[in-house]
A and B are shown apart, each in its own frame.
Chain A
Amino acid sequence: MTVRAVRFPRLRGGLTPWLFLLPALLIFAAFKFVPAVRAIEMSFHEVRPYLGDRWVGTDNYGTVLSDADFGAAVWHTVVLAVGQTAGSILLGLVLALLLEGTARHLWFIRTAVFLPTVVAVAVVAEVWRILYFPGAEGILNSVFGWFGLGPSDFLNSRDSSLSSIMAVGIWRGAPYDMMIILAGLAGVDRSLYEASAIDGAGRWRRLWHVTFPGLRPVFVILLTLAAIRGLRVFTEVFLLTNGDPQGSTEVLMTLIYKLGLERHDLGTAAAGSIVLLLATVTLTLAVRARRKVGTT
């Protein structure tokens, strides 16, 4: 390797990154990009896998964009995405700070806290439907009762349904974020802590001036992920309410599911997803552009 490096320094410099990227790009090309291109194609067709597709222009887009629930679905999606993202990052940060360390009991507690992330979503939905049981004898309603609150209808009233789903999303998302933040904390240079202590900085100032700046790559990851995933929020909603009651939790993906997949109308489903994709790309670019401004 080194021999060749001496002989063709230029060529090697040009090719090296591509060699390292090759496995990932090949796999993505076959299993993501080719299907994605086909999905874009599908969005302009009436898809009939057996008989052959029929060109319908932008009709599929019309079906999605003109649906009476589209506006509400966009709004619910944004509310849910922002709420879940902010909630998960904040709670995840608190969890990570509280549970950082090598003590044996912390291993156990971290594992318990991490459980929601590794349990199948179907089971998570099952648990929360039980916890949220809206009768006065329901579990959360009993807890609320101790404090003289409730009973709440939780998922089953349009006033509380969206926030109830958001709570489940945060419950499941915070431990996820916690892990990434913990990894970030592990990478923060310990000598900086000492230095700031010598400078006489208190705990909170140290957190603000040393820890948080050290977590910058972590926040970049979390925000990028949030931008990518936020608008696609689906499984929790689908399993908990499917957009009910009274359409109060309808989000873009459940709408796409109803208009396209439940009706076996793949073209419309694809069109809805392309709309979603465009929104996501825009959002991601916005997040990353902000970051560029932030770093320079």
Chain B
Amino acid sequence: MRQFDTALGFAGSRHPLLRPLRWLVYLLLVAVFGGPLLALMVSAFSPVASPTSLTLWPEHVTMDNFARAVDRGVLGYLLNSFIVVGFGLLLQIAVSVSAAYALSRKKFPGLRLVYLLILSTMMLPEEILAIPLSVVLADVPVVHVNLVGTLAGMIIPVAAWGFSILVMAEFMREIPIELEEAARIDGAGEFRILTTIVLPLCRPALGVIGIFGFVMIWDQYMLPLLVAQDSAQFTLPLALRTLRSDPEVGLGVLLAASLLALLPSVLAFLAMQRQFMKGLTSGAVKG
């Protein structure tokens, strides 16, 4: 039944030309999507990065660009980024799953309005919200806490993200209601239904919001800018932007720092892919 692992189901096909053709396609895809970036990353090890050409093999390998990036405190920024993304992502996934559960599996008055409100949080450009947001950060309504100058100020606001909620909700909607009802008859509470029935069936979606949530928090620019009081609280994207327009360093230092910024995302991606695979198998077993 291997043939039915995938939608195209080529795995079961025995055509002699299929194999070489497939590898050709793979090669093309890697070249088109990965090639330019790999070449650019190689430039991070070159003394002078050229703005007109890319090479996959540097003439002289040098760590200078990395040394200078480290001189500029990139490691400290990296640590801040790790802290923010670690706590931020955990919170964000929990909040998204919880909200999506209500939106997709409950019927209540005001549902559509709430849905639209959540979507609308993704509609205003950050540049516009920046100044009003900075006022809120300095004095959070009702509780009157000042988040400026704390890493918490970069974590709490990203804990809710419309995209994650939307993706989770659409996937949860597909899970048959009968499974839930059976558990309810067995006396399971809402929390148990969510964690033991609904969530395991949403693994691929968890992978999606995990990956994109990671990238979203990792790439945050405006929020850390508003929250940071000085460079001690900088995250990597703030440093990248500064390196890009600093006339006193060349392209190489920016690339070295970008490479450092890229690696954790790739690792996160590899880790989250696991969720997809589990989803795949569970999908196959389900029938």
Contact = CB atoms under 8 A, between A and B. Distances in A.
- A contacts B directly in the complex (CB < 8 Å)? yes
Interface of A: 1-2, 5, 14, 16-21, 23-25, 27-36, 38-39, 42, 47, 49, 95, 97-102, 105, 107, 109-123, 126-131, 133, 135, 137-139, 171, 175-176, 179-180, 182-194, 197, 203, 206-207, 211, 217-218, 220-221, 224-225, 228-229, 232, 234, 253, 256-257, 261, 266, 269-270, 273, 276-277, 280-281, 284-285
B25 A183 contact: no
A130 B29 contact: no
B140 A36 contact: no
A176 B215 CA distance: 11
15 contacts: A21-B99, A23-B98, A27-B157, A35-B129, A39-B129, A47-B131, A102-B277, A109-B29, A111-B269, A115-B262, A116-B37, A191-B286, A232-B125, A273-B128, A281-B123
Contacts of A131: 36, 54
Given A28-B117, A187-B283, A270-B128, A137 B53 contact: yes
Contacts of A229: 122
Contact of A34 (B132, B170, B258): B132
A146 to B, nearest CB: 14
Nearest to B270: A111
Interface string B166-192: 110011011000000000000101110
Contacts of A23: 94-95, 98-99, 159-160
B286 A95 contact: no
Contacts of B70: none
Contacts, number: 302
B30 A112 contact: yes
Contacts of A188: 7, 283
Highest count of chain A CB atoms <10 Å: which of B4, B25, B166 = B4
Interface stretch (B58-66, B71-79, B236-244): B236-244
Contact of B240 (A27, A115, A122): A122
B85 interface: no
B152 interface: no
B266 A118 contact: yes
A31 B158 CA distance: 9
A258 B9 CA distance: 51
Given A2-B189, A138-B52, A95 B29 contact: yes
Contacts of A257: 127
Given A123-B40, A130-B51, A273-B128, 6 more contacts: A24-B99, A24-B165, A38-B132, A113-B33, A123-B240, A138-B52
Nearest to A39: B128
A277 B131 CA distance: 18
